[in-house]
């Protein structure tokens, strides 16, 4: 509906227009004088009439040539229909539109089937001509009335909305940010849609180590609070790995071990429990990677089963190991596995220079006690520079010993005492502190009889009474970890190889950090990304300048030959910005355009090497982007949350709800109908011509 | 007229000749083009008969079309006569007069006609003139060129495959691909008859599926029909066997006894047909024995119990049982004098159970066997043991399969063996005392029942006798629990001998949870808690004697030998039993058998529990030597001890998991809809990977014959050398799924941190946050100071 306020002409003339106007006036005067002279003494009436007709012709000519508009009042309120509007909401919107002073009715729906449904509905309501179908929210910021005008006039008629009535899922955070920046003091009234069935707040790690326990957690969303649903995680064979029976708003936590290296695809199915009908299916994709080999130095005063089994486990994976075991007062047995390092003396192994190449130093208590001062200093220095130290504790730390800087450091974050109560040598549950959520983490072992008391360290492993069994403290760039568990090998002997491997994988993953000069930093983006979203990725580079490339990866074997992947898809260079306040820290704001797996590579260019060599030495990370038609419930809830946050609270659909404090009227320039002017102009010209003919 | 007719006849003949000449000339003119065109067409259609016939047809049509052209139609009488005028000037341009009617012509015309006719007659006779009239054939050179081209095609054979029309034995050719010209052999009909072994009693199976599923030892007969019966055919099996197919009319037959799961292919001549077929052999399973009774591995029989043991066994087999018996060993004696005697027994009776059908194998033979062992009849005595195991043979021929059950032990206990072991102490459950406690209960009940029939003195006496018996029993058991019985501490406590027993410090008085008599007992206990009462036993009358008795027999709470109060600990249970015996004895001595009865029953209950208490042995895994103090270490001579150095490289071979994982990833490329061309040929690495996976599956084929289907798929992929298989939709996906299914859960591997923050970044953040915090605090302080200054002003 058009509001017709003060309906007066408004013209914006340029110099040319003024010149034309001046010429027209001069022409009019001259022609009128000529007419007057011609009919002088004959008929003043005819000459007056002719002048009048002449004047009409000039005026109408000017009206046709000059840019003259009509100014109308329009409302700056609009209704926006977004995804998942049901019939009730649509009725409310239509009612508001019809009864309220709303200028425009927008429909911003991207799903084709929903658009079809809405078309059918509005056709029934006979509102199709009133609708404005949008394909993006950007059009809301730049909505122009009167599209048939010229470009300049079009731009001048840009309508800035002050109030929007949003029905349905609402807008995304990015859309709202853009709307805010384009329109100041925009008031949003939000009428949300019903929650659709699906999984929200879902979280899983896209990149996992081989053999690691992976978790998928989320919340079931549904508008039906009473129905029971089966949420199951299925694999490529459609075998159900985990299943849970849930109601709306209940959380689930699934744990499983992905089987293959490379891309593993799983599905999250939601079924109605009563009918077993599949209602929703979402895809979960992860990339299982093989870890890096480690370089570990072990020094013990006596052999132990724990070290032996740990050595075997690490050696099987190709890690480099050096084990030094004291065999006599001044004699040692040195074993090197998977390394070509030449044999050194014990002192040399514990030198700062050698420890710089070591990822983890494992000691037992007696070795620590027996350290010389130089060794203590070297180890402490190495820890500050990034070495991780792991100590199996026993009574040797409690008994009287020589002053020891390492032990003094231990005592800054913990204290030791021997267990004397009845719990000595009793099996206890072992919980991995940083693997939250599931009780499946519980394992049973008999810890040593030393009790650790945490002062301000980090509990890595605790028992059933929440007492620390493995405790860590950062020091400089490295860390020191004390372990009261020295019999994890019993899991291996009992056939619980997986438990054993996952325990050490967990510990080593927490303690050892990559010290590469070029590396990707941990990803802080949302667990699920969609096309046309932006995400920030950061990396650390201490070396020369590098280039960053992104390419879509189609090959499911994304851990295989890097060159073959690169050969198939073109790379897109990305621009990185160095962060202020950070040295060597760079970030990329990557706008995602397509779904699927994407590989981002950090390539250090070296002119002495070939391009393939550069590629082979690049540091890569893989990110999966879901398709726009996946995770619809998640998309809905994020829109609802973002819109609710922005919207005014407690809205009902009363059409008298408009805020009287807002001046929601605006004026726009509208071209007026020139057809009558043409008719008059032609008529005047015809009359003048007839007159000349008769004359 | 006759001349006219002759002229017309001649003209028509001549016209025919001319037309023929024109045709031939035109054909010669176009012959090179036709040769080239024909060669190309024949080459494209492989010189097939159809192409040749088609080409000829086109040529005929071309020729027919030629006759419709104006060149051809211009050859008529008038034009021929005109042609004669041109060729023979003698006709003086008057050849046309030959066909003019003389009767209608003038004299001059007639004269000329005569002249022309004479010339014409001469022309007819003279061959030279005739040849001149006809003219020489033109375009011969074109024809020669066409012949040359044709000859060159025969000799050079550019991209030619027509050698099968020509004997190529004189030609040296290299790498000519014959396949396009050889019609592939196809299997037209197939019929397979499977005859299972006779002992299975299964019916023969006729099928037209080449993939065979049969019992091991079945005779399989193939009857096949091929599109090219003239070739020789054979069946080649994956284990290396090959059998020839014998031709009978147009059908080829072969027979084989199959015993192994595998694959087979058809060989036609020197080549194999592309299809691979599977043979899935279901092995005859061994009999399954399930011993229903006795349930326990070791069954103990009391000395005085009836030495009869019932044995009930279920034996089942997929096709039938031939024999079931029991192999028994009887051990007599003990220690070094033990003797063994083996004997085979039959079951007393057999009962057939209705069949139970499972997926593939029908358990059609399920029998229940019963045997009753009379140990006495076997010549056994208390202290002897019987070991027996059930043996069953199925009806497989030629060699039956045997199964043996686990060995059950029947132990006939001697008196000395009825004991319980607890903490290294043998608690001997002597049957008579066990019966005695029961006897005490029985007699107590009898006493209660007879209370109205007996006099007070008799009642008291009987009750006291029961009390004494209870006391003796209690003493006997108490000895094993460390109780000491030294007599009463207070010798003057009572004149009645029954009260002379005293407490021992070792008694466990903590177990007061016994039964319903506890409340009354507790109220009495409240009066008597001190052993000091024992020392003050005087003849002060009934009250004090009563107190003395109470003091003598009441529990003290001083000694709390808690011990290990585990639920199943025999010592604890015995102590509870003894404690209840104390209470029972107390009330019996007080002539209150109805109050003693619950305690007696509790004592019996705990006795039974103690006897049946489970002993839990915890195996210590590994041996952790106690730590040796540094002072004690390395005390020996150290001169010859030197440092050692060892170096080792562990070769990490590709594990089964890695092979399966790589194969899964490779096959998954197809199904994930990735943009990898699945039509590309397999690389060497991919082929060797598939071969490795095939070997892995073959290792499991014995126990899982259904895997043969997937081995066949791998063979097909290797033969085709790419992932697209004809007539096998979904095969690759099924193979991928199977690989996923059999892939084990991978072992966890070690790696540096993936998800946790870089410590450098963490420290940097902490540092920056600290700086910001300090800056904010400084600003706050400054503001406060500023405010204070302003206030002062």
Chain B positions touching A479 (Cβ under 8 A) are 759
CA terminus-to-terminus distance, chain B: 163
β-strands A251-256, A229-234: how paired?
Answer: unpaired
A456 touches chain B (CB under 8 A): no
Q: What's the pLDDT score for residue B171? A: 40
Q: Where are the beta strands (DSSP E) in B653-784?
A: none
Chain B positions touching A568 (Cβ under 8 A) are 675-676
Residue of chain A whose Cα is closest to the Cα of B741:
A237
Q: What's the pLDDT score for residue B220? A: 94
Chain B positions touching A262 (Cβ under 8 A) are 661, 665
Q: Determine what percent of chain A is predicted with pLDDT higher than 90.
A: 26
Give residue B413's pLDDT band: very low, low, confident or very high (50, 70, 90). confident
Q: Determine what percent of chain B is predicted with pLDDT higher than 70.
A: 76
Cα B435 to chain centroid, rounded: 58
β-strands B298-301, B288-293: how paired?
Answer: unpaired
Mean pLDDT of B433-449: 79
Mean pLDDT of B627-650: 76
Task: Using the predicted structure, report yes or no on whether residue B523 has a pLDDT greater than 50.
Answer: no
Structure tokens belonging to residue B57? 């047809």
Task: Using the predicted structure, report yes or no on whether residue B264 has a pLDDT greater than 90.
Answer: yes
Q: Which among B645, B665, B761 has the least Cβ separation from residue A262? A: B665
- What is the rounded CA–CA span in Å between residue A471 and residue A381? 20
- CB neighbour class for A336 (10 Å; exposed up to 12, middle 13-18, buried from 19): buried
Chain B positions touching A339 (Cβ under 8 A) are 647
User: Which own/partner contact pairs does B527-530 have at CB distance under 8 Å and 24+ positions apart?
Assistant: B528/B554, B529/B554, B529/B556, B529/B557, B530/B556
- Out of A28-37, B161-170, B215-224, B501-510, pick the least confident: B501-510
Name residue, tokens 């740990």: A310
What lies within 8 Å, CB to CB, of A278 at 6+ separation is: A269, A270, A271
Task: Using the predicted structure, report yes or no on whether residue A563 has a pLDDT greater than 70.
Answer: no
Give residue B422's pLDDT band: very low, low, confident or very high (50, 70, 90). very low
Task: Using the predicted structure, report yes or no on whether residue B491 has a pLDDT greater than 70.
Answer: no
Q: What's the pLDDT score for residue B673? A: 42
* Inter-chain CB proximity B755 and A338 less than 8 Å: no
Q: What's the pLDDT score for residue A196? A: 92
Task: Using the predicted structure, report yes or no on whether residue B172 has a pLDDT greater than 80.
Answer: no
* Inter-chain CB proximity B622 and A239 less than 8 Å: no
Chain B interface disruption, residue of A208, A210, A336, A486, most B CBs within 10 A:
A210
Q: pTM of the prediction?
A: 0.62
Task: Using the predicted structure, report yes or no on whether residue B334 has a pLDDT greater than 80.
Answer: no
Task: Using the predicted structure, report yes or no on whether residue B641 has a pLDDT greater than 80.
Answer: no
Structure tokens belonging to residue B246? 């014998």
Name residue, tokens 């009167």: A146
Give residue B545's pLDDT band: very low, low, confident or very high (50, 70, 90). low
Q: What's the pLDDT score for residue B175? A: 41
Tell me how close the Cα of A337 comes to any Cα of chain B, in angstroms.
5
Mean pLDDT of A154-161: 57
What lies within 8 Å, CB to CB, of A367 at 6+ separation is: A299, A300, A301, A326
B757 touches chain A (CB under 8 A): yes
Mean pLDDT of A611-615: 58
User: What is the overall mean pLDDT for chain B?
Assistant: 77
Q: What's the pLDDT score for residue B527? A: 44
Chain B positions touching A497 (Cβ under 8 A) are 747
Tell me how close the Cα of B766 comes to any Cα of chain A, in angstroms.
12
- Out of A130-134, B224-228, B354-358, B534-538, pick the least confident: B534-538
Of B644, B627, B632, B648, the closest CA to residue A392 belongs to B627
* Inter-chain CB proximity B749 and A305 less than 8 Å: no
- Name the region of A495 (left: φ>0; alpha: ψ -120 to 50; beta: rest): left
- What is the rounded CA–CA span in Å between residue B793 and residue B786? 11
Chain B interface disruption, residue of A211, A301, A324, A424, most B CBs within 10 A:
A211
B651 touches chain A (CB under 8 A): no
Mean pLDDT of B627-633: 70
Q: What's the pLDDT score for residue A322? A: 92
Of A229, A202, A216, the closest CA to residue A258 belongs to A216
Chain A positions touching B627 (Cβ under 8 A) are 394-396
Give residue A105's pLDDT band: very low, low, confident or very high (50, 70, 90). confident
Task: Using the predicted structure, report yes or no on whether residue B619 has a pLDDT greater than 60.
Answer: no
Task: Using the predicted structure, report yes or no on whether residue B478 has a pLDDT greater than 50.
Answer: yes
Q: What's the pLDDT score for residue A272? A: 92
Task: Using the predicted structure, report yes or no on whether residue A100 has a pLDDT greater than 70.
Answer: yes
Task: Using the predicted structure, report yes or no on whether residue A47 has a pLDDT greater than 70.
Answer: yes
β-strands B308-317, B288-293: how paired?
Answer: antiparallel
Q: What's the pLDDT score for residue B43? A: 78
Task: Using the predicted structure, report yes or no on whether residue B358 has a pLDDT greater than 70.
Answer: no
Mean pLDDT of A322-336: 86
- Out of A109-113, A452-456, A489-493, B480-484, pick the least confident: B480-484
Mean pLDDT of A74-87: 84
- What is the rounded CA–CA span in Å between residue A432 and residue A211? 16
The DSSP result for A23-42, as a single string, is HHHHHHHHHHHHHHHHTTTT
Name residue, tokens 């130095």: A297
pLDDT (tens digit, 9 = 90+) per residue, A510-524? 898 877 778 888 776
Chain B positions touching A314 (Cβ under 8 A) are 750
User: Which own/partner contact pairs does B591-594 have at CB distance under 8 Å and 24+ positions apart?
Assistant: B591/B459, B591/B460, B591/B463, B591/B464, B592/B463, B593/B444, B593/B447, B593/B448, B593/B451, B593/B463, B593/B466, B594/B448
* Inter-chain CB proximity A334 and B644 less than 8 Å: yes
Mean pLDDT of B234-252: 90
Question: Bigger pLDDT: A446 or B280?
Answer: B280
SS3 B747: coil
pLDDT (tens digit, 9 = 90+) per residue, A448-463? 888 888 888 899 998 8
- Any idea what the Cα angle at residue B263 is, between residues B260 and B265, rounded to 5°? 135
Residue of chain B whose Cα is closest to the Cα of A522:
B755
Structure tokens belonging to residue A82? 């977004």
Task: Using the predicted structure, report yes or no on whether residue A302 has a pLDDT greater than 90.
Answer: no
CB A99 within 8 A of CB A124: no
Which residues in chain A (18-37) have CB-CB distances under 8 A to chain B?
Answer: none
pLDDT (tens digit, 9 = 90+) per residue, B22-38? 888 888 888 888 888 88
Q: What's the pLDDT score for residue A653? A: 52
* Inter-chain CB proximity A291 and B630 less than 8 Å: no
CB B39 within 8 A of CB B153: yes
Mean pLDDT of B655-661: 88
Chain A positions touching B737 (Cβ under 8 A) are 236-237
Task: Using the predicted structure, report yes or no on whether residue A93 has a pLDDT greater than 60.
Answer: yes
Tell me how close the Cα of B677 comes to any Cα of chain A, in angstroms.
10
B562 touches chain A (CB under 8 A): no
Which residues in chain A (485-514) have CB-CB distances under 8 A to chain B?
Answer: 487, 489-490, 493-494, 497-498, 501-502, 504-505, 508-514
Name residue, tokens 């509905």: A121
Sequence length of chain B is: 793
Tell me how close the Cα of B375 comes to any Cα of chain A, in angstroms.
42
Residue B673 sits at φ, ψ, to 5 deg, of 70, 30
Structure tokens belonging to residue A498? 């997986």
Tell me how close the Cα of B62 comes to any Cα of chain A, in angstroms.
54
Which residues in chain B (657-696) have CB-CB distances under 8 A to chain A?
Answer: 661-662, 664-666, 668-669, 672, 674-676
- What is the rounded CA–CA span in Å between residue A31 and residue A54? 8
Mean pLDDT of B448-455: 86
- What is the rounded CA–CA span in Å between residue B278 and residue B720? 17
Task: Using the predicted structure, report yes or no on whether residue A150 has a pLDDT greater than 50.
Answer: no
What Å distances lie between residue A370 and A335, A350, B771, CA to CA? Answer: 20, 13, 40
B626 touches chain A (CB under 8 A): no
Give residue A312's pLDDT band: very low, low, confident or very high (50, 70, 90). very high
Q: Which among B649, B758, B762 has the least Cβ separation from residue A540? A: B758
* Inter-chain CB proximity B665 and A556 less than 8 Å: yes
Q: Determine what percent of chain A is predicted with pLDDT higher than 70.
A: 83
Task: Using the predicted structure, report yes or no on whether residue A621 has a pLDDT greater than 70.
Answer: yes
Structure tokens belonging to residue B412? 């006939």
Q: Which among A212, A318, A330 has the least Cβ separation from residue B748? A: A212
B768 touches chain A (CB under 8 A): yes
Sequence length of chain A is: 695
If you count DSSP H runs as helices and E runs as strands, how many of each does chain A have, helices first? 19, 38
SS3 A609: coil
Name residue, tokens 């070991």: B387
Q: Where are the beta strands (DSSP E) in B164-307?
A: 187-195, 205-207, 212-215, 218-226, 233-237, 242-244, 246-248, 251-258, 262-268, 271-282, 288-293, 298-301
Q: Determine what percent of chain B is predicted with pLDDT higher than 90.
A: 17
Of B339, B188, B302, B307, the closest CA to residue B250 belongs to B188
Of A609, A379, A600, A617, the closest CA to residue A517 belongs to A617
Tell me how close the Cα of B763 comes to any Cα of chain A, in angstroms.
8
Task: Using the predicted structure, report yes or no on whether residue A541 has a pLDDT greater than 90.
Answer: no
β-strands B233-237, B218-226: how paired?
Answer: unpaired
Question: Bigger pLDDT: B642 or A345?
Answer: B642
Q: What's the pLDDT score for residue A313? A: 93
Q: Where are the beta strands (DSSP E) in B375-527?
A: 385-394, 402-404, 408-412, 419-422, 425-428
Which residues in chain A (217-256) have CB-CB distances under 8 A to chain B?
Answer: 235-237, 239
The residues facing A529 across adjacent strands are: A625
Mean pLDDT of B639-659: 81
Question: Bigger pLDDT: A136 or A166?
Answer: A166
Instruction: Check whether the bond before B398 is cis (ω within 30° of 0).
Output: yes
β-strands A214-221, A198-204: how paired?
Answer: antiparallel
């Amino acid at each position: 509906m058009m509001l017709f306020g003060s309906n007066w002409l408004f013209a914006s003339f340029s110099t040319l227009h003024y010149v034309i106007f001046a010429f027209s006036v001069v022409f009019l005067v001259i022609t009128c004088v000529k007419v007057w002279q011609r009919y002088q003494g004959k008929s003043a009436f005819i000459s007056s009439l002719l002048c009048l007709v002449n004047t009409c012709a000039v005026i109408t000519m000017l009206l046709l040539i000059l840019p003259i508009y009509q100014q109308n009042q329009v409302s700056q309120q609009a209704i926006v229909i977004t995804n998942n509007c049901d019939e009730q909401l649509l009725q409310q919107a239509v009612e508001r539109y019809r009864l309220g002073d709303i200028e425009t009715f927008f429909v911003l729906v991207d799903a084709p089937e929903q658009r079809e449904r809405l078309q059918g509905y509005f056709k029934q309501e006979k509102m199709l001509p009133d609708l404005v179908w949008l394909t993006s929210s950007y059009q809301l910021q730049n909505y122009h009335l009167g599209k048939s005008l010229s470009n300049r006039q079009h731009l001048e008629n840009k309508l800035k909305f002050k109030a929007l009535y949003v029905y349905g899922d609402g807008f995304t955070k990015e859309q709202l940010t853009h709307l805010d920046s384009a329109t100041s003091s925009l008031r949003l009234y939000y009428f949300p849609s019903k929650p659709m069935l699906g999984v929200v707040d879902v979280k899983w790690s896209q990149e996992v180590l081989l053999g690691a326990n992976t978790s998928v957690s989320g919340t079931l969303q549904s508008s039906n609070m009473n129905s029971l649903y089966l949420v199951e995680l299925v694999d490529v064979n459609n075998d159900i790995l985990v299943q849970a029976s849930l109601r709306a708003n209940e959380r689930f936590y699934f744990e499983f071990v992905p089987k293959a290296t490379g891309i593993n695809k799983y599905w999250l199915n939601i079924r109605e429990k009563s009918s077993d009908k599949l209602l929703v299916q979402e895809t979960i994709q992860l990339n299982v990677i093989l870890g890096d080999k480690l370089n570990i130095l072990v020094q013990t005063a006596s052999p132990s089963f724990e070290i032996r089994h740990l050595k075997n486990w690490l050696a099987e994976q190709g890690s480099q190991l050096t084990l030094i075991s004291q065999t006599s007062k001044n004699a040692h047995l040195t074993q090197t596995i998977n390394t070509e390092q030449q044999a050194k003396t014990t002192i040399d192994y514990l030198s700062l220079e050698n420890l710089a190449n070591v990822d983890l130093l494992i000691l037992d208590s007696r070795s620590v006690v027996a350290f010389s001062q130089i060794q203590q200093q070297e180890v402490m220095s190495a820890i500050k520079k990034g070495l991780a130290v792991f100590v199996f504790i026993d009574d040797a730390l409690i008994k009287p010993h020589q002053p020891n800087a390492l032990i003094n450091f231990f005592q800054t974050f913990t204290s030791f005492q021997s267990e004397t109560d009845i719990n000595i040598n009793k099996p206890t549950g072992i919980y991995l502190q940083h693997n939250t959520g599931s009780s499946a983490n519980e394992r049973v072992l008999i810890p040593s009889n030393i009790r650790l008391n945490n002062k301000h360290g980090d509990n890595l492993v605790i028992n059933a009474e929440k007492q620390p069994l493995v405790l860590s403290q950062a020091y400089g760039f490295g860390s020191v970890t004390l372990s009261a568990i020295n019999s994890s090998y019993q899991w291996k002997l009992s056939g619980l190889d997986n438990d054993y491997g996952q325990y050490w994988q967990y510990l080593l993953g927490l303690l050892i950090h990559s010290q590469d000069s070029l590396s990707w930093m941990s990803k802080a983006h949302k667990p699920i990304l969609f096309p046309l979203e932006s995400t920030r990725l950061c990396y650390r580079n201490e070396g020369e300048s590098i280039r960053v490339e992104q390419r879509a990866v189609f090959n499911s074997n994304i851990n295989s030959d890097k060159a073959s992947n690169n050969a198939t898809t073109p790379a897109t260079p990305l621009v990185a910005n160095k962060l202020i306040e950070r040295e060597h820290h760079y970030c990329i704001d990557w706008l995602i355009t397509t779904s699927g797996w994407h590989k981002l590579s950090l390539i250090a260019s070296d002119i002495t090497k070939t391009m393939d060599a550069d590629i082979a030495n690049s540091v890569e990370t893989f990110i999966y982007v879901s398709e726009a038609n996946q995770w619809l419930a998640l998309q809905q809830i994020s829109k609802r949350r973002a819109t609710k946050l922005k919207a005014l609270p407690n809205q009902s659909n009363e059409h008298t709800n408009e805020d009287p404090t807002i001046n929601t009227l605006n004026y726009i320039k509208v071209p007026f109908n020139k057809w009558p002017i043409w008719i008059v102009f032609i008529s005047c010209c015809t009359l003048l011509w007839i007159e000349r003919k008769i004359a | 007229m006759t001349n006219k007719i002759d002229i017309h006849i001649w003209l028509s003949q001549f016209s025919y000749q001319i037309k023929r000449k024109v045709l031939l000339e035109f054909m010669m003119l176009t012959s090179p083009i036709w040769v080239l065109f024909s060669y190309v067409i024949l080459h494209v259609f492989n010189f097939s008969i159809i192409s040749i016939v088609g080409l000829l047809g086109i040529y005929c049509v071309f020729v027919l079309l030629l006759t419709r052209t104006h060149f051809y139609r211009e050859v008529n009488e008038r034009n021929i006569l005109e042609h004669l005028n041109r060729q023979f000037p003698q006709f003086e341009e008057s050849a046309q007069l030959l066909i003019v009617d003389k009767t209608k012509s003038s004299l001059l015309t007639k004269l000329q006609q005569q002249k022309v006719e004479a010339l014409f007659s001469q022309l007819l006779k003279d061959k030279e003139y005739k040849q001149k009239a006809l003219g020489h054939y033109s375009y011969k050179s074109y024809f020669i060129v066409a012949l040359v081209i044709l000859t060159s095609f025969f000799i050079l054979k550019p991209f030619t495959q027509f050698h099968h029309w020509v004997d190529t034995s004189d030609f040296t050719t290299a790498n000519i691909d014959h396949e396009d010209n050889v019609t592939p052999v196809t299997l037209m009909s197939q019929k397979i008859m499977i005859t299972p072994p006779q002992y299975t009693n299964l019916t023969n199976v006729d099928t037209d599926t080449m993939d065979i599923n049969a019992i091991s030892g079945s005779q399989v007969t193939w009857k096949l029909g091929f599109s090219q019966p003239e070739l020789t055919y054979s069946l080649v099996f994956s284990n290396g066997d090959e059998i020839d197919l014998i031709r009978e009319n147009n059908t080829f037959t072969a027979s084989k006894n199959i015993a192994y799961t595998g694959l087979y292919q058809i060989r036609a001549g020197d080549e194999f047909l592309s299809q691979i077929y599977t043979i899935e052999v279901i092995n005859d399973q061994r009999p399954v024995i399930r011993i229903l009774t006795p349930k326990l591995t070791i069954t103990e029989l009391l000395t005085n119990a009836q030495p009869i043991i019932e044995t009930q066994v279920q034996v089942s087999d997929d096709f039938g049982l031939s024999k079931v018996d029991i192999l028994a060993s009887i051990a007599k004696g003990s220690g070094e004098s033990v003797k063994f005697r083996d004997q085979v027994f039959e079951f007393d009776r057999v009962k057939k159970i209705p069949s139970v059908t499972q997926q593939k194998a029908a358990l059609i033979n399920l029998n229940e066997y019963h045997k009753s062992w009379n140990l006495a009849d076997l010549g056994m005595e208390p202290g002897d043991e019987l070991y027996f195991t059930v043996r069953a043979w199925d009806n497989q021929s030629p060699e039956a399969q045997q199964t043996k059950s686990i060995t059950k032990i029947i132990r006939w206990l001697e008196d000395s063996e009825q004991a319980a072991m607890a903490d290294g102490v043998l608690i001997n459950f002597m049957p008579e005392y066990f019966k005695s406690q029961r006897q005490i209960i029985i007699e107590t009940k009898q006493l209660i029942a007879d209370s109205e029939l007996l006099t007070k003195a008799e009642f008291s006496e009987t009750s006291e006798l029961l009390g004494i018996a209870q006391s003796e029993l209690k003493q006997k058991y108490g000895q094993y629990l460390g109780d000491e019985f030294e007599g009463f501490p207070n010798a003057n406590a009572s004149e009645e001998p029954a009260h002379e027993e005293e407490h021992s410090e070792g008694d466990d008085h903590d177990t007061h949870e016994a039964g319903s008599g506890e409340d009354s007992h507790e109220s009495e206990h409240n009066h008597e808690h001190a052993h000091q009462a024992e020392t003050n036993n005087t003849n002060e009358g009934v009250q004090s004697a009563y107190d003395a008795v109470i003091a003598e027999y009441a529990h003290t709470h001083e000694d709390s030998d808690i011990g290990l109060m585990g639920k199943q600990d025999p010592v604890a249970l015995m102590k509870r039993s003894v404690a209840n015996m104390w209470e029972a004895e107390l009330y019996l001595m007080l002539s209150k058998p109805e109050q003693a009865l619950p305690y007696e029953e509790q004592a019996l209950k705990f006795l039974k529990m103690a006897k049946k208490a489970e002993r839990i042995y915890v195996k210590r895994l590994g041996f952790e030597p106690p730590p040796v103090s540094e002072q004690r270490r390395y005390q020996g001579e150290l001169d010859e001890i030197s440092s050692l150095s060892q170096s080792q490289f562990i070769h990490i071979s590709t594990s089964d998991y890695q092979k399966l994982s790589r194969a899964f990833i490779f096959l998954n490329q197809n199904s994930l809809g990735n943009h990898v061309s699945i039509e590309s040929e397999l690389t060497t690495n991919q082929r060797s990977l598939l071969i490795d996976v095939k070997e892995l599956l073959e290792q499991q084929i014995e126990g899982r014959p259904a895997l043969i289907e997937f081995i066949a798929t791998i063979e097909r992929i290797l033969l085709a050398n790419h992932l697209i298989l004809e007539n096998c939709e979904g095969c690759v996906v099924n193979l991928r799924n199977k690989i996923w299914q059999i892939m084990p859960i991978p072992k966890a591997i070690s790696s540096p941190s993936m998800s946790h923050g870089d410590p450098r970044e963490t420290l940097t953040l902490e540092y920056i946050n600290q700086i910001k915090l300090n800056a904010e605090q400084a600003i706050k302080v400054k503001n406060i100071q500023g405010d204070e200054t302003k206030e002062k002003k």
